[in-house]
Amino acid sequence: MFMKHILSRRGVSTILGTLIFVGILFSAYVPMVLVMKQADTIYEQRVHAAEVESYERELEDLLVLAYPNDADDTITVKATNEASVPIRVVRVWINDQCNTTDKTLMPGATSVVDSFKVDLSEEVFNVKVATERGNLFTSSSGSLYYDPETGYWATPTLAICVNIINFMGKYRIEVAYINGTQVGYYETQGVEFGDVIQTFTVPETGVSYVVTIQKHKGGNWVDLPGTPVTVEMVYPNGSPLVYVYADGTEI
């Protein structure tokens, strides 16, 4: 009888011990599962944030324009946000000199980023703009040149670039002042079977030019839709290269 009582107590102890062990195990398991789920959530959030950042980096499109100031030794950097996301400019490189800045441009906005002093003894200046997302954009006005003998900056070539979407056709293009004085003329030699691209240098800025684009059809020259078109050359407040687009497939 005594032995049965001892065995009974041992059996109860074993059961209680097992229950306590299971209780401890579950009390440790539940927090562990919660921590693991939280870690998974944080990881997924970081992955999503990285994907969004990469996507927005690809969307960035910044038109950069750099122009000198004749009155002093500074270069002004201007930018236009041509993307659908805000762009934050954080650095401006002029040759090997890095200039920190902080300028945010909303989609479609144009603004002066800043003006920077330069060492005129370098004579040639290349400007690049770095964004917070890691993209690098080069100035569309190209290299800037300073002539130490004259003390003046060289003006970049001013030009109008005409792009015609074409499958098959013969075209002629005329660039003229508002008063009709011709500045440039081009006519395709025979029938073209691809897009037509022609660049015309223009003599001055601060004026408007009329671009007339015609297609040969039925023995006559017919104006393409949207032309003649008037464009304004506004360098240094705009790019020294102006683009004109026309669709030759509509006629």
pTM of the model: 0.55
Answer CATH for 60-148 from 1.10.730.10, 2.60.40.10, 3.40.50.720, 3.40.50.880: 2.60.40.10
The C-alpha atoms of residue 167 and residue 192 are separated, in whole angstroms, by: 8
What's the angle, vertex CA 47, arms to CA 46 and CA 52, rounded to 5? 95
Spatial separation of the C-alpha atoms in residues 185 and 174, rounded to whole Å: 5
Q: pLDDT digits over 34-49, tens only?
A: 767 776 677 666 766 6
Taking alpha carbons only, the member of 205, 204, 206, 251 closest to residue 227 is: 251
β partners of residue 172 = 187, 214
Along the 251 residues of the chain, how does pLDDT read in single tens digits? 544 444 455 555 566 566 565 666 566 666 666 767 776 677 666 766 666 666 778 889 998 888 887 777 899 998 989 888 999 999 999 999 999 999 999 998 888 999 999 999 898 999 999 999 999 999 877 788 888 888 888 767 789 999 999 999 999 999 999 999 999 999 998 898 999 999 999 988 889 999 999 999 988 999 999 999 999 998 877 778 889 999 999 88
In the chain, where the domains are located: 1-55, 60-148, 159-250
CA distances from 142 to 84, 105, 137 (A): 25, 22, 11
Length of the chain: 251
The CATH T-level fold of domain 159-250 is Immunoglobulin-like (2.60.40)
